[in-house]
Amino acid sequence: MSIIRNILNLPFAIIFFFISLIALVVNLFIPRKKFIEIQRRAQQNEISERLKSVEGLIKSGDKVLDVGCGNGHFGKAVADRLKAKVSGVDVVDYQHAEIPVKFYDGHKIPHRDGAFDVIILAFMLHHVEHQEELLAEAIRCSRDKVIIFEDVYFSPWQWAFVVWNDFYTNILFGAVRVVKGEAGKGLLSIPMPLTFRSVKGWQALFRSYPVTLKRTTVRHARHKPHSKCVFCLEVKP
Ligand SMILES: C[S@@+](CC[C@H](N)C(=O)[O-])C[C@H]1O[C@@H](n2cnc3c(N)ncnc32)[C@H](O)[C@@H]1O
């Protein structure tokens, strides 16, 4: 990230804090049908971005496990667009998922060693206190790749923004989604340890596993101080 962008992120973060509070109130008053439509469109845009970043990494016919799949929208898009066989695991059932899902205790992934070509961990590791253990589990279940999407930070103020944004998205805005009937009540009980890392922090963690980091792609949001990163790990045989 450029130094100017990094510095500008501080006023952006402060402005965004107030804008998001106003957005919360506005969304409460938007009619339910319109609210659901806006959420659906936002999710589709996000999924298109994610699909671009996994192009070439997931092949037709690959067996894919989406760990922490949530509503399964991303997994379903991977299945439909990339012709992969996708299933999920999660710890909370807060929305009827669009892919087959197994619920488990959040520690031992309920699948055998090397059962999948690709394991996806999309914006879920910062919901996990025992990241090291879960990452080892993901690597155990993969025979080829582990793809990780994460919110990352490049400065202390961006860290503060990312923490606020996660609390806002899952709890405050999550409550609005529940009130509107767009998500189930369980959304409010997903673990929130806020275990974020910087890009370098993640890369340092990956070095302690039998994997090769093949790709790191950072995507900076245009209108807010939000940076998302995709890491592709190749599992060593
Ligand atoms: C922010 S949501 C992301 C959902 C989905 N991956 C997406 O990108 O839309 C985080 C998800 O991780 C799940 N989660 C939290 N801890 C977990 C664990 N130890 N194992 C599997 N899933 C977990 C939560 O229940 C939640 O569905």
* SS (HEC) of 157-219: HHHHHHHHHHHHHHHHHHHHHHHCCCCCHHHHHCCCCCCCCCHHHHHHHHCCCCEEEEEEEEE
**CATH node for 3-235:** 3.40.50.150
pLDDT at site 97: 78
Closest residue to atom 4 of ligand 1, CA basis = 70
Compute the distance from residue 117 Cα to the ligand 1 centre, in Å. Answer: 20
Find residue 86's DSSP bridge partners.
64
In b/e form, how buried is each residue of 42-67, taking b as 16+ CB within 10 angstroms? eeeeebeebbebbeebbeeebbbbbb
Q: Domain spans of the chain?
A: 3-235
pLDDT at site 2: 79
Q: Given ligand 1 and candidates 74, 91, 148, 170, which is best to mutate, with the most ligand atoms within 8 Å of its CB? A: 91
For 158, the token pair is 């961006």
How far from 167 is each of 119, 179, 181, 190, CA to CA, in Å? 26, 17, 19, 11
Per-residue pLDDT tens for 178-209?
999 888 888 899 999 999 999 999 999 999 99
Q: Given ligand 1 and candidates 90, 187, 230, which is best to mutate, with the most ligand atoms within 8 Å of its CB? A: 90
State which residues of the chain have pLDDT below 50. Answer: none
Compute the distance from residue 3 Cα to the ligand 1 centre, in Å. Answer: 32
pLDDT at site 25: 93
Q: Given ligand 1 and candidates 124, 185, 194, which is best to mutate, with the most ligand atoms within 8 Å of its CB? A: 124
Stated pTM of the model: 0.94
pLDDT at site 11: 84
pLDDT at site 83: 96
Instruction: Establish whether residue 122 lines the binding site of ligand 1, counting it when its CB lies within 6 angstroms of any ligand atom.
Output: yes
Compute the distance from residue 103 Cα to the ligand 1 centre, in Å. Answer: 11
For 118, the token pair is 């690709």
